[in-house]
Amino acid sequence: MIRDRIIICFASNWDYHPTSKHHVMRKLSEHNYVIWVNWHASRRPRLGMADLRTIGQKLREIGRGARQATDRIIVITPPQIPMPGSSLARQLNVRLVCRAIRHVLANLPSLPVQLWTFAPDMVDLVGRFNEELVLYYCVDAFAEFPGYDRDVTEACERRLLALSDVVLATSPPLYESRRRLHHNVHFVQHGVDHARLSRAVKEPLQMPEPLRLLPRPIYGFVGIIGDWVDVELIAALAQRRPTGSVVLIGPENTSRGSCADLPNVHWLGPRSHAELPAYLRYFDVGLIPFRQQPLTHNANPIKLYEYLAAGVPVVSTNMPAVDPIPGSVWVADDIESLVAGCDEAIRCNSPEQRLHRSNLMLSESWDARVEQISRLVDQACDAGIASARIESDNAEAEAVEHEAVAV
């Protein structure tokens, strides 16, 4: 694993629902310092209560200054102007973010710096910290997110690709599109916290209180409930199986739509990662009900790995990163196939089947994934050092030759 580095990580909010970036940085922080930069300049806010609440939250975070999230992870929320289409705003953001990062760097040991970014539009900060390596970790088609300026986001990403030493892509479509633009792109799937989530099949965890009175089977979803979640499909499932319960765990960032008044759809809100094994133990089916759109076409849902590690059979809408696995994963194109997949999944729920499903994820741990990434980073660093040495040798040879000619 990478050791004795300072990793400056540009990502979405540290306090959001845990994603791949959280798991990767926690693992890297075991042997490195991590400066996590809450990057919030990607989208111009809209006039609405949701964005007004977000602005208020960001102002509070800015006021808190740098904070120690773990022993070796420092989280900062520098002031930023969320006007990605304005060159003046971007220039000011560079100054504000650089000042905040350098203030933290001044209090850390003198170690080589690496720049890792999950955000494609922070490209103006590349090269500001004498970094030995730039890694772009591409986890989504960001230009497809609602409210993002497509032209600006895509232009920034092209510039970032040109300046990156390593590019990681987490889904087949992201890999195929990015490898046409960069010479060192690698397909790296998400990992899973297997040790924690496998408790759902290995320990007699008590049923959480919110589930105790719910009729079985439980069709469960865990994750951010955003615009990409097909709430109409969830409503149709709830109506087709009225004696069962649909349970949604996670922050709500979109309208409940036709699910709003259904008595067997239960919105439990966010739960900590530590609580998930107890909930997943009592899920009869894990749902990934994403809409068919470019954003989800490029996605690799981390919840797929989490459901399986907990032994839960999965029914997902169709996307390139989700392959059917006999007895474990069913792929649906419409409500008919979704209901049929759920019915079949419920029949594959013996303790032995759940344990087998969990064991499929043993080799997909975050430990294994970060080791894989570390090897790619080490190779890129070695290649960069070798390249710099060749350039230095060539320059020296040219100088000697020039001196000889002059004599």
Domain check: are 202 and 330 in the same one?
yes
Q: What is the pLDDT of residues 22-58, one digit of tens each?
A: 999 999 999 999 999 999 877 776 666 665 666 566 6
Instruction: Give the number of other CB atoms < 10 A from CB of residue 211.
Output: 19
Tokens at 116, concatenated:
């890792």
What span, in angstroms and rounded, lies between the C-alpha atoms of 366 and 41?
29
- Whether residue 248 is found in the same domain as residue 102: no
The answer to whether residue 206 is domain-embedded is yes
- 187, 210, 242: which is the final residue of a domain? 187
> What CATH number has the domain bearing residue 232?
3.40.50.2000
Same domain, 164 and 261: no
CATH code assigned at 126 = 3.40.50.11010
Indicate if 250 and 175 belong to the same structural domain: no
| Overall number of domains in the chain | 2
Residue 329's alpha-carbon distances to 208, 288, 310, 342, in angstroms, are: 25, 11, 13, 10
85 strand-pairing partners: none
Over the stretch 84-142, which tens digit does the pLDDT of each residue have? 888 899 999 999 999 999 999 999 999 999 999 999 999 999 999 999 999 999 999 99
Residue 170 belongs to what domain range?
A: 6-187
Q: How far apart are CA 237 and CA 251, in angstroms?
A: 21
For the segment 277-334, what is each residue's pLDDT rounded down to a tens digit?
A: 999 999 999 999 999 999 999 999 999 999 999 999 999 999 999 999 999 999 999 9
User: Could you give the strand order of the β-sheet that contains 265-269, starting from the edge strand earlier in sequence?
Assistant: 265-269, 245-249, 218-222, 285-288, 314-317, 329-332
Any domain includes 405: no
* φ and ψ at residue 117, rounded to 5 degrees: -135, 135
Q: Is residue 258, in this structure, part of any structural domain at all? A: yes
Q: pTM higher than 0.85, yes or no?
A: yes
For residues 243 and 329, membership in a common domain is answered with yes
Report the greatest alpha carbon distance in the chain. Answer: 95
Verify that 49 and 140 share a domain, yes or no.
Answer: yes
Residues 42 and 135 in one domain: yes
The answer to whether residues 200 and 249 touch, using CB atoms and an 8 Å cutoff, is: no
Residue 392 is assigned to a structural domain of this protein: no
In the chain, the amino acid numbered 402 is H
Same domain, 27 and 97: yes
Could you read off the pLDDT of 345-401 as tens digits, one per residue? 999 999 999 999 999 999 999 999 999 999 999 999 988 754 443 344 444 435 434
Shared domain check, 166 and 78: yes
Under the banding of pLDDT at 50, 70 and 90, the label for residue 16 is: confident
The per-residue pLDDT of the chain, averaged, comes to 91
Q: Is residue 334 part of a domain?
A: yes
Contact (CB, 8 A) for 216 and 283: no
Asked if 177 and 220 sit in the same domain, the reply is no
Q: How many CB atoms lie within 10 A of CB 36?
A: 26
Residue 390 lies in a domain: no
Q: Please check whether residues 14 and 148 belong to one and the same domain.
A: yes
What percentage of residues in the chain have a pLDDT greater than 70? 90
Strand pairing category for 67-68 and 285-288: unpaired
